[in-house]
Amino acid sequence: MPEELYEIEANIPANPIEEYLRMDRMPHIWCPGCGIGTTVNCFVRALQTSGLDLDKVAMVSGIGCTGRVAGYMNLDSFHTTHGRAIPFATGLKLANPELKVVVYSGDGDLTAIGGNHFIHAARRNMDITVILINNMIYGMTGGQVAPTTPVGATASTTPHGNFEETFNLPFLAESCGAVYVARWTAHHVRHLTKSIKEALAKKGFSFIEILAPCPTLYSRRNKLGDGLDQMEFYRDHSQIKNGADTKTVALEFQGDIVVGKFVDKERPTYLQAMNQHYQKKFGDRYVPSEEMRKVFHA
């Protein structure tokens, strides 16, 4: 190889999203075939085109495989306790409304142990973006049943098959008041990237559920092949239905997957409502914090 060509190549970053990641923390912990990394790639692509000042973007994760995303992002990032990313994000956003606060966590973390926080943040229309990776089980602890495990699937704590009804997460989010609700899979990288960009631009509680394979602890135990087989399944069994009624998008074991943007509406966010309310009630007597004044009373 000619020397100058070699030099040019050496100047090309190994991965175009490198500057968004904490490369000194690589390699990551995720298994081969895991879908989380793909979603992170989409998230970074969305960030790149979002126009956001990255110094003003903060990421909050809970615990679990997806909970590790915060630690790999080159952003202000907080790896909190199990299920509590949303209330931490709530405090962070209320303290400094200038920040774009993103919660990135797993299905068990956000909807089982953190379920109460999830529904209340949606109800309040708290100004945060929640990205939920649904691999249908607890990955990090060894593949236990989750509120998202389909009926009929096998998990380590349902060795004879799961018979518990599952959450339909887009329906849950919408019924609690989320203003942006979408579902994609790790296969839908372009749609997902666009959707994340929209969610980041949305004011209020925006929510994206992303189905992602866990070949190690879900696919293998359910004899569904490896990560690639799951991606092929997503490709062959997903139907894009933007605007679908979220009541109709429940997931079934190896059933068809309805993906798309289901909800995109306007309603006053928590911060708008709070500021408007106090402004109306107290006029000039209302003293918002300095950060609040910048964003809402400029």
Partner 1 sequence: MHADPIGVLTGAHFIDGDHACSEGAIAAGCRFVAGYPITPSTEVVERIADRFPFVGGVFIQMEDEIASSIAIQGAVWGGKKAMTVTSGPGFSLMMEHIGLAAMTETPCVFVDVQRAGPSTGLPTMPAQGDMMQARWGSHGDYQIIAIAPNSPQECFDLTIHAFNLSERYRVPVMMMMDECVGHMIERVVIPAAEKIEVHNRKVYEGPKENYLPFEAGRDLVPMMVKAGDGYRIHVTGLTHDEKGYPNMSVSAQGKLVQRLMDKIRLHADDIIKYEEENIEGADIVVVTYGITSRTAIPAIEQARAKGLKVGHLRLIVCWPFPEKRIRELAGRVKSIVVPELNMGQMVYEVERCAAGKCNIVSVPHAGGTVHQPKDILAAIEKSIRGK
Binding stretches for partner 1 (CB under 8 A): 22, 24-25, 55-56, 58, 60, 70-71, 74-81, 84, 86-96, 98-99, 116-117, 120, 274, 278, 282, 285-292
Kindly tell me which of 234 and 270 has the beta carbon lying closer to partner 1. 270
Task: Answer for the pair 47, 54: CB distance below 8 angstroms, yes or no.
Answer: yes
Closest CA to 128 of 194, 202, 23, 195: 202
Kindly tell me which of 121 and 132 has the beta carbon lying closer to partner 1. 121
Smallest gap from residue 16 Cβ to partner 1 (A): 19
Smallest gap from residue 110 Cβ to partner 1 (A): 13
Please state the separation of Cα 170 from the chain's center in Å. 12
Kindly tell me which of 120 and 241 has the beta carbon lying closer to partner 1. 120
Kindly tell me which of 190 and 293 has the beta carbon lying closer to partner 1. 293
Kindly tell me which of 37 and 71 has the beta carbon lying closer to partner 1. 71
Q: Is 243 left (phi over 0), alpha (psi -120 to 50) or beta?
A: left
Which letter does DSSP use for residue 208 in this model?
A: E
Smallest gap from residue 284 Cβ to partner 1 (A): 11
Smallest gap from residue 134 Cβ to partner 1 (A): 22
Kindly tell me which of 33 and 108 has the beta carbon lying closer to partner 1. 108
Query: Using CA atoms, how far apart are residues 144 and 135, in angstroms rounded to an integer?
Result: 11
CB-based contacts of 116, cutoff 8 Å, min separation 6 = none
Smallest gap from residue 63 Cβ to partner 1 (A): 8
Which letter does DSSP use for residue 76 in this model?
A: E
Give me the residue label for tokens 């931490």.
88
Kindly tell me which of 77 and 185 has the beta carbon lying closer to partner 1. 77
Query: Using CA atoms, how far apart are residues 138 and 146, in angstroms rounded to an integer?
Result: 6
Q: In residues, how long is the chain?
A: 298
Smallest gap from residue 226 Cβ to partner 1 (A): 28
Please state the separation of Cα 162 from the chain's center in Å. 25
Please state the separation of Cα 26 from the chain's center in Å. 21
According to DSSP, the residues that pair with 101 across neighbouring strands are 58
Task: Answer for the pair 147, 112: CB distance below 8 angstroms, yes or no.
Answer: yes
Smallest gap from residue 118 Cβ to partner 1 (A): 10
Residue type, 77: S
Smallest gap from residue 48 Cβ to partner 1 (A): 16
Kindly tell me which of 79 and 203 has the beta carbon lying closer to partner 1. 79
Tokens of 211: 């189905």
